[in-house]
Amino acid sequence: MMRASGTRIELAAPEQCMGCGACYASCGFGAISMVPDAKGFYRPDVNAERCRDCGACAFACPAVGAATQKTEPLATLAAWDKDADDRAKATSGGAFMLVADAVLARGGWVCGAVMGQDMVVRHVVTRDREVVDDMRGSKYVQSDVSEAIAECLAHLQGGEEVLFTGVSCQVDAMRRVAGSRYADSLLLVDVLCHGAPSPRFWRAYLDYREWEEGDEIIGARFRKKEPSWTVFSLELTFKTEHRLRAWCTVEDLYLRAFLGDYITQEVCHECPYVGTGRVSDITLADFWGYVSETRRNRNTEEGISLVLANTPKGKSVVELLTGLHTIKKSLSEAVKGNGPLRSAFPANPKEEEFWSAFDVGGIEAVKGYLVPVRFSWKHRLSLFFNDHAYLLPVALRELLIDMRANE
Ligand SMILES: Cc1cc2nc3c(=O)[nH]c(=O)nc-3n(C[C@H](O)[C@H](O)[C@H](O)COP(=O)(O)OP(=O)(O)OC[C@H]3O[C@@H](n4cnc5c(N)ncnc54)[C@H](O)[C@@H]3O)c2cc1C
């Protein structure tokens, strides 16, 4: 535990802190600010003169307070937005926007992550659909959530409905700050998380690309689904006539650093939110390992959401989404394809060495660590099988699925 100097308050130790902002949002005395640590992750800084030692921050902190009760999903679905244009704008199947639209239609507020013009990722709270539109798509950078949690709380206290979305630790922070008082008006949706990447590394990467291209970056989009959903990519927009340039996993330094587990928070490697026990009403993810059982439902590489309805409230929200095409699946099928439903991603063994090199020489100094991720032929064959399994007779399909499960 970390004791703030001059106070008796004990918050999470640096290696346990998730930067979820629960402490910041729960402080009634403005004694906590969120500041970047050496790797750029958001961390609380307690002002001893303002602190009254009330303990609200430690109570809200998911790392040092009592653990949040988790629930096992009531329903597991593969799903996608029936509107092809909307589905194309999302990272997975577009379930998020349909949930958000349902809340907006009832006059509620929506909270989610947007990337500002300064290329910083922050959570914002809005009823403006254009702003909610900017929440679409995963931004693989840790988001600054602290102000947004307090704003959501104010709306809840005013008797209004709020949809809060974010990675699991942020959703737990919102839940803990709100307590059980607003269970009817607060809808919690978490996106399954590989780990939160460093905002400092993100900025350094952008500076590097700006230097390389001799142009300013004014926009970024992860995983545009070109050429397809399963090929990870990053597209940057440069200022001169909104020029676009895209890189895929094999050639992009940032994606390689992220997927190589060099730049996520230390605590993410021991994430307490992995597994099938969830802290939200609904969990959204990519349905990796989706097997198409009929031609109509085959994987067209346009994105498939995994939707876990974790509470009766979450289940009824999902059931009312008429724009969502859903297919019932088993939880074990979802778990098989999706790492965070089983365990946390371990740190890269060279993570510390990587950061030491980066501190001295920046992006240029860590290029040697960022070797391309290439899929094996076995992995490619498995993807091909998933997409075309519906063509095989049921008995043969089941045999092959069993064989893969027993590997
Ligand atoms: C850092 C990160 C890691 C992820 N890792 C995995 C993974 O390992 N496996 C997996 O299956 N899915 C992962 N996801 C989730 C996945 O990428 C999709 O976000 C999710 O499936 C929802 O997709 P959608 O099509 O329903 O809607 P989309 O429109 O794609 O989803 C947008 C939603 O993501 C939220 N969001 C976007 N960026 C951030 C951010 N930086 N911090 C917090 N919330 C954000 C928005 O608030 C909104 O709720 C991750 C997402 C993030 C942000």
Output the pLDDT for position 234.
Answer: 95
Here the tokens at position 28 are 């009634």
Domain count, the chain: 2
Task: Please indicate, yes or no, if residue 132 is contained in any of the structural domains.
Answer: yes
Atom of ligand 1 nearest to the CA of 111: 47
DSSP assignment string, 372-388: -----HHHHHHHHHHHH
Q: Is the CB of 286 under 6 A from ligand 1?
A: yes
Same domain as 11, residue 111: no
Task: Please indicate, yes or no, if residue 406 is contained in any of the structural domains.
Answer: no
Q: Residue 373: pLDDT above 80?
A: no
Same domain as 192, residue 279: yes
Task: Please indicate, yes or no, if residue 142 is contained in any of the structural domains.
Answer: yes
Residue nearest to atom 49 of ligand 1 (CA): 165
**Residue 388 pLDDT level (bands cut at 50, 70, 90):** confident
Which of 60, 81, 99 is the endpoint of a domain? 60
Same domain as 21, residue 159: no
Residue nearest to atom 16 of ligand 1 (CA): 285
Q: Is the CB of 314 under 6 A from ligand 1?
A: no
Same domain as 80, residue 219: yes
Lowest mean pLDDT among 15-24, 92-101, 243-252, 354-363: 243-252
Q: Which residues pair with 358 in a beta bridge?
A: none
Q: Residue 387: pLDDT above 80?
A: no
Same domain as 54, residue 78: no
Output the pLDDT for position 46.
Answer: 93
Q: Which residues pair with 235 in a beta bridge?
A: 221, 246
Task: Please indicate, yes or no, if residue 102 is contained in any of the structural domains.
Answer: yes
What is the C-alpha end-to-end distance of the chain, expressed in Å? 42
3-class state of residue 8 by DSSP = coil
**Residue 407 pLDDT level (bands cut at 50, 70, 90):** low
Task: Please indicate, yes or no, if residue 407 is contained in any of the structural domains.
Answer: no
Mean pLDDT of the chain: 93
What stretches of 180-232 adopt beta strand conformation (E)? 186-191, 217-222
Atom of ligand 1 nearest to the CA of 87: 25
Q: Is the CB of 167 under 6 A from ligand 1?
A: yes
Task: Please indicate, yes or no, if residue 203 is contained in any of the structural domains.
Answer: yes
Task: Please indicate, yes or no, if residue 405 is contained in any of the structural domains.
Answer: no
| C-beta separation of 113 from 139 below 8 A | yes
Which of 21, 42, 60 is the endpoint of a domain? 60
Atom of ligand 1 nearest to the CA of 306: 21
Q: Is the CB of 187 under 6 A from ligand 1?
A: no
| C-beta separation of 128 from 109 below 8 A | no
- Reported as a single tens digit per residue, the pLDDT across 290-325 is 988 888 898 889 999 999 999 999 999 999 999 999
What is the Å distance from ligand 1's center to 134 Cα? 13
* Burial zone of 395 (CB within 10 Å; 0-12 exposed, 13-18 middle, 19+ buried): exposed
Q: Is the CB of 196 under 6 A from ligand 1?
A: yes
Q: Is the CB of 112 under 6 A from ligand 1?
A: yes
Here the tokens at position 167 are 């990675």
Output the pLDDT for position 3.
Answer: 54
Here the tokens at position 115 are 């990337």
Please state, as a whole number, how many other Cβ atoms lie within 10 Å of the Cβ of residue 185.
16
Output the pLDDT for position 85.
Answer: 97
Same domain as 174, residue 47: no
Q: Is the CB of 310 under 6 A from ligand 1?
A: no
Atom of ligand 1 nearest to the CA of 81: 25
Same domain as 52, residue 73: no
User: Domain containing 270: what range?
Assistant: 69-399
d(CA 400, CA 335): 18
d(CA 255, CA 176): 32
3-class state of residue 328 by DSSP = strand
Task: Please indicate, yes or no, if residue 29 is contained in any of the structural domains.
Answer: yes
- Reported as a single tens digit per residue, the pLDDT across 239-277 is 998 888 888 887 899 999 999 999 999 999 999 999 999
SS percent in the chain: helix, strand, coil, step 5: 35, 20, 40
Q: What is the CA radius of gyration of the chain?
A: 21
What is the Å distance from ligand 1's center to 95 Cα? 11
Q: Which residues pair with 268 in a beta bridge?
A: none
Q: Residue 4: pLDDT above 60?
A: no
What is the Å distance from ligand 1's center to 169 Cα? 13
What is the Å distance from ligand 1's center to 362 Cα? 27
- Reported as a single tens digit per residue, the pLDDT across 65-115 is 889 999 999 999 999 999 999 999 999 999 999 999 999 999 999 999 999
Same domain as 290, residue 182: yes
- Reported as a single tens digit per residue, the pLDDT across 119-159 is 999 999 999 999 999 999 999 999 999 899 999 999 999 99
**Residue 5 pLDDT level (bands cut at 50, 70, 90):** low
Same domain as 158, residue 39: no
- Reported as a single tens digit per residue, the pLDDT across 173-205 is 999 999 999 999 999 999 999 999 999 999 999
What percent of the chain clears pLDDT 90, i.e. is strictly above it?
80
Q: Is the CB of 21 under 6 A from ligand 1?
A: no
Same domain as 149, residue 289: yes
Which of 43, 60, 77 is the endpoint of a domain? 60
Q: Is the CB of 95 under 6 A from ligand 1?
A: yes
CA distances from 90 to 93, 136, 284 (A): 6, 6, 12
Same domain as 78, residue 29: no
Here the tokens at position 61 are 């902190």
Q: What is the CATH number of the domain that holds 33?
A: 3.30.70.20
Output the pLDDT for position 129.
Answer: 98
| C-beta separation of 86 from 129 below 8 A | no
**Residue 8 pLDDT level (bands cut at 50, 70, 90):** low
Average pLDDT of the residues in 357-368: 97
Same domain as 187, residue 219: yes
Average pLDDT of the residues in 221-247: 91
Average pLDDT of the residues in 380-389: 79
**Residue of 98, 138, 258 to test ligand 1 pocket, by largest number of atoms within 8 Å of CB:** 138
d(CA 320, CA 385): 32
